[in-house]
Structure 1
Amino acid sequence: MLRITILLTSIFALTNVCFASETVNKPKVIINVVVDAMRNDDFMRYAKNYSNTGFNKLINKGVYATNAHYSNIPANTMVSAATIITGSNPRQHGIIGKEWYANGQNFLTMAIDTSREITFPAPLYSIIDKIKYNDSASKVISIAIDKNTAIISGDATTERVIWLDKNDGQWKEVRGLEKEPWWLTILNNGKTKKRYDNTPWTATYSKEAYINQNSYKLFKKDTSKKSKHTKTITPIEETPFCNSYLNDCLSSLFTFDKIGKDTVCDFVTINLGFSKSVYEKYGAKSIETEDMFYKIDKEISRLINMLDHEVGKDEYLLIFTSASGMSDGTSKNEGGVFNQTKAHVLVNAFLSAQYGVDNWVSGYKNNEIYFNHKTIYRRKVSLEELQNAVANFIIKFNGVETAYTATSLTRTSYYNGIDKRIYNSFNFINSGDVIVVLKPNWLSVVNSDFSKNRCGNIAPWENIVSVPLLIYGKGVKHKTIRAKIDMTDIAPTIAEIMGVSRPEKAIGNSFTNNIYN
């Protein structure tokens, strides 16, 4: 009897210790920061020029996962946002791009239909659902430069979904039947944005301090965003000041909505902008792209200072990552241009020559060819036969690495390398009939104007799927994790830290032990 009593006492004591440990490590708020494009190798290349209060603070005092990857194709910020908050890939969550031809139809389906009234997409089974189910008092916020990304990162139960309207440069908010908060109205009516509009993008350092020395286009000339001829102003989302403006909005949000001010853990997703457009316009190895890192470094420093003041030091957990990497291509010599409009026409002509003149192809989206299934049914042709024929035809195109058919991705499981990333990106309902994989550094464009698009991003290559991942804050000890971390692991990790259930479709694994031990 005495032994049983001692055993039970030991179990209760151990349980209390574990519970106490969980309580100590549970922050007042978790902030998930996602920049729209940032390569992991570039992130470390520029580290010597980061400030000690920004990225280097995360690196030197937090956990840096040097081998973080997407196990799917991060086609755009919406796809990555869905992957991060659900802990699953497009194969499970269904967001494969901004739009697609669903169920073999001859019309486009939007991931988010904003034509009349903004509505949230079908349930994604995300970490937000579990946070709200566990405690409805937890405040959940989504804020982004891009509207669609903000909406994907939130849902109908989220307290605030805020984005920067590209039409008028105003912050917009969706929150049930309520009007936008008074502090957001004041921010929109204030002089902050006008000040940013009249501030030129200038280099952070002297030219000699930059790692990249092969381009200095932007800073050679007058960088004032006001044109002397047109008197137009560059939209703020295309300048580094969009993230500065977002930080202003965040400061008001934390102050007046009292985020992280009580004993209930809140959750905030922040989607930064600007970086992808710089990669695309100037190329991966330009001074302009390098300077973009330093501008974001300053905003991370501002964010940390704000959190220290509003929430308290060591009272929050900050996660930083990227929606994707980017390709190396900065010129036609390093890659090439794949004209998807021409591919659409040629594939339809090929099928018409083989099976009779008709409208065989509905469209080309997200590097996927969609057949018109009504035509196929009417013509009584084998769908699998057409898929194989087009896959064998398209791989002969210049710039195409390989092609997969929907039939093969439905019947066969892939577990390694490029095949696995394609498999994880394929969704039974929303994906096309033939998935085209371009060679590294090739860009898929609607037309042949290479000057307007310099980098491709819908690809399974290492420089696209490898991204920085850093965790900083309450209970986190300095550590470098070299083991592979999948981006589907983030949601299960957040769930464990917050003490809530994993999202239903989550396939990732928590790496909490790597953070706290």
Structure 2
Amino acid sequence: MKKENHSMKGNIARLTTFLFVIILLLTITPLAQAANPSQPKLIVLIVVDQLRADYLTRFADLFENDGFRRFWNEGAVFTNAHFPYVPTYTGPGHAAIGSGTTPSVNGIVGNEWYNRSTGKEIYCVYDSIVSPLGTTTDAGRMSPRNFIGSTFGDQLRLATNFRAKVIGIAMKDRAAILPAGRTANAAYWFDAATGAIVSSTYYMEKLPEYIVEFNRRHIPDSYIGKEWRKLLPESAYERTAPDSGLGEGLFPGDNRSTFPHLITKLAGNKAYNAFLTSPFANEFTIELAKKVIEEEKLGMRGVTDLLTVSFSSNDYVGHTFGPYSQEVEDITLRLDRQLAGFFHYLDKKFGKGEVLLVLTADHGVAPNPEYASSHGLDAERLVRKSFEESVVARVKEILDIGENVIQAFSNESVYLNYDLIHKLHLKGEAVENAVARAAMEQPGIHAAYTRTQLLRGEVAGDIGKHVLEGFHPRRSGDVIIVTEPFTFFSYGATGTTHGAPYSYDTHVPLLFFGKGIKNGIFTTPSSPTDIAPTLCEILQIEFPAASSGHVLMPPLR
């Protein structure tokens, strides 16, 4: 009997030990599988809309240690990063950054383009089949459906069996949607008519309660009546043009081109444009980023998550005042301090070095033509309507016809009327050549490339290669026009724009710091299209479909 009791006690002890081991394994195995200590807890991809590369050197001595300088002190800095395509716009830029592809593949050939089937322009992220969330306006009818291929975020979702979360935020819809990708958990953007953060049913059936609560705080309204004043003493702004410089526009609502700028609420669907054209909207973007991190528990679930954050206000300010304005200097200096605060938050939340940060821009910007020409540069504002009318008339003369074979002008592209060309028994290539010739005869035009040339790959020089990388056979026009340097088509008499293949539009920052990155400054040629494959290499996952970017090996530990 004693022997049986002893044997029974031994069996019970062994069973207890066995059950304890099973429970322990069940408890820790999922964490062990999900949490790879060599990988970052969270990746934050920051895009600063219209941040030219030279801003980070022109204003470097005015930066604080923990903002932009942190990339120089702790991270990898690529000083020779250029977009390899035109047009250099917001939509194409954010799509290229997220996917490592150019418009020739991802199809985002502009912020909008002409749709031959409907006879209308289509906005790059407009989606008529989704419903808005957080608003009743069309500002919520957006999705990534027009994007072709996959992003780094999509590949991260696939690699983790969709356990990783991918979320994009920005004031601009396209800036929130495109870098996050087609399988993103969510994208949130700003409705300028209502002042609310919105989304669409592409992502979810209804807004999360925390976004609803965030909107109830009416944070943008708290800035109405405030003034945007210069951050630093007057002497700090001597490196830029005088306030109210040549070609500068007026701040929305207060009709001034000089500091201070009063934040007012406007009428109609641009009620919050003054707020958007100020550094206060960048503060708001960071508050939203923190809210999303906290509520979604990004980086806290044993798997690497991705948050894309685009700062849109720098672009609004740059378009209005130009790259050599005191307003652009001031919003850049303020963003430096705002980023420092955000980086401190991430350090405290996750531990220093546990988050991987990437910072770049979607494009640069041209100088105001009046400013450039006053300093001896050949610069001009081209009137789009006059150019189009001249080209139409000249094409009729060249082809000796009375009808207009041009269907539309869009994105510095000319779309031909195929049905009419067929009816008139004209050859498509001959019509393309006539349009290109007519365009080249107009002032301010550097080059014109035809569809036939581009499909054959018959382009010469760096500019021709940029045009080819921006040409999508189904979405692009039949003749692509490139203006001379410092010259662009303008809808108004002030401000500036971007979209050209020149360095002031293509040269942008490319910065890394955090988990998996070693410190260094690299002058080797690079591109924002290198970001997606580099992040995939760090996480050891598959590259985005058709990614043409390269892995930036030097910064990888």
TM-score by length of 2: 0.83
2:210 aligned with 1:197: no
The yes-or-no answer on 1:319 pairing with 2:358 is yes
The residue type equivalent to 1:87 in the other structure is: G
Q: Displacement of 1:190 after TM fit?
A: 1.0
C-alpha displacement at 1:463, in angstroms?
1.3
CA distance in structure 2 between the aligned counterparts of 1:233 and 1:28, rounded to whole angstroms? 35
For the aligned residues, what is the CA RMSD?
A: 2.5
Q: Which residue in 1 is equivalent to 2:243?
A: 216
Corresponding residue SS for 1:515:
coil
- Where does residue 18 of structure 1 map in the other structure? none
Alignment of 1:453-464 (within 5 A): 454-464=495-505
User: Residues 235, 219 of structure 1: CA spacing in aligned structure 2 closer, same or farther, 3 A cutoff?
Assistant: closer
CA 1:483/1:186 → structure 2, altered by over 3 Å: closer, same or farther?
same
CA distance in 2 between counterparts of 1:145 and 1:229 reads 19
Deviation (angstroms), 1:406: 1.1
Q: Does 1:277 align with 2:316?
A: yes
Task: Output aligned runs, 1:174-189, within 5 Å.
Answer: 174=200, 176-189=203-216
Counterpart of 1:382? Answer: 427
For residue 54 of structure 1, what is the aligned residue in structure 2? 67
CA distance in 1, matches of 2:489, 2:257: 29
Structure 2 unmatched ranges of 5 or more: 1-34, 131-140, 245-255
- Paired position in structure 2 for 1:98: 111
Q: Distance in 1 between matches of 2:122 and 2:421?
A: 20
Instruction: Pick one of 158, 175, 190 that aligns with 2:184.
Output: 158
2:325 to 286, 297, 301: 286
Cα pair 1:28 1:260 within 8 Å, conserved = yes
Pick closer, same or farther for the CA change 1:367–1:56 going to 2, 3 Å: same
SS of 1:275's equivalent in the other structure is helix
Bigger Rg, structure 1 or 2: 2
Question: How far is the alpha carbon of 1:294 from its aligned partner?
Answer: 0.6
- Residue 104 of structure 1 and its aligned partner are, at CA, apart by 8.0
Residues 111-155 of structure 1, C-alpha deviations (whole Å, 9 max, x = no match): 222456334324432222211111111010111110122222234
Which residue of 442, 445, 449 maps to 2:487?
442
Residues 311, 71 of structure 1: alpha-carbon distance in 2 compared, 3 angstrom cutoff: same
Partners of 2:50 and 2:386 in 1: CA distance: 28
Counterpart among 460, 465, 480 of residue 420 in structure 1:
465
Q: What is the DSSP-based 3-state SS (H/G/I as helix, E as strand, rest coil) of the residue aligned with 1:101?
A: strand
Structure 1 residue 410 and structure 2 residue 455: aligned? yes
In structure 2, what is the Cα distance between the partners aligned to 1:360 and 1:104?
Answer: 17
Distance 1:158 1:213 in 2: 40
Q: CA deviation at 1:187?
A: 1.5
Aligned residues: 491
Q: Given residue 222 of structure 2, which amino acid in structure 1 is its aligned partner?
A: R
SS at match of 1:269: strand
Distance in 2 (CA, whole Å) between partners of 1:399 and 1:302 is 45
CA distance in 1, matches of 2:441, 2:205: 55
Which residue of structure 2 lines up, in the alignment, with residue 236 of structure 1? 275
Q: Which residue of 2 aligns with 1:476?
A: 517
Q: Say yes or no: does 1:337 pair with 2:381.
A: yes
Unaligned 5+ segments in structure 1 are 1-21
Say if 1:29 and 1:260, in contact at 8 Å, map to a contact too.
yes
The one-letter amino acid of 1:473's match is G
Give the corresponding residue for 2:22: none
SS in 1 for 2:187: strand
Task: Confirm or deny that 1:40 pairs with 2:53.
Answer: yes
Alignment partner, residue 225 of structure 1 = 263
Q: Offset of 1:509 from its aligned partner? A: 1.2
Is the contact made by 2:49 and 2:362 (CA closer than 8 Å) also made in structure 1?
yes
Displacement after TM superposition at 1:419 (Å)? 1.6
Separation (CA, whole Å) in 1 of partners of 2:104 and 2:167: 26
Kindly provide the amino acid, as one letter, of the partner of residue 288 in structure 2. Answer: C
Alignment of 1:496 onto 2:521: no
Q: Percent identity between the aligned chains? A: 26
SS of match in other structure, 1:363: strand
Aligned residue among 348, 353, 362 for 2:407: 362
Contact 1:368 1:433 in 2 (8 A): yes
In the other structure, the counterpart of 2:393 is 349
Counterpart amino acid of 1:373? Y
Equivalent pair of 2:451/2:477 in contact (CA under 8 Å): yes
| Residues 46, 211 of structure 1: 8 Å contact kept | no
Q: What TM-score, normalized by structure 1, do the two folds share?
A: 0.89
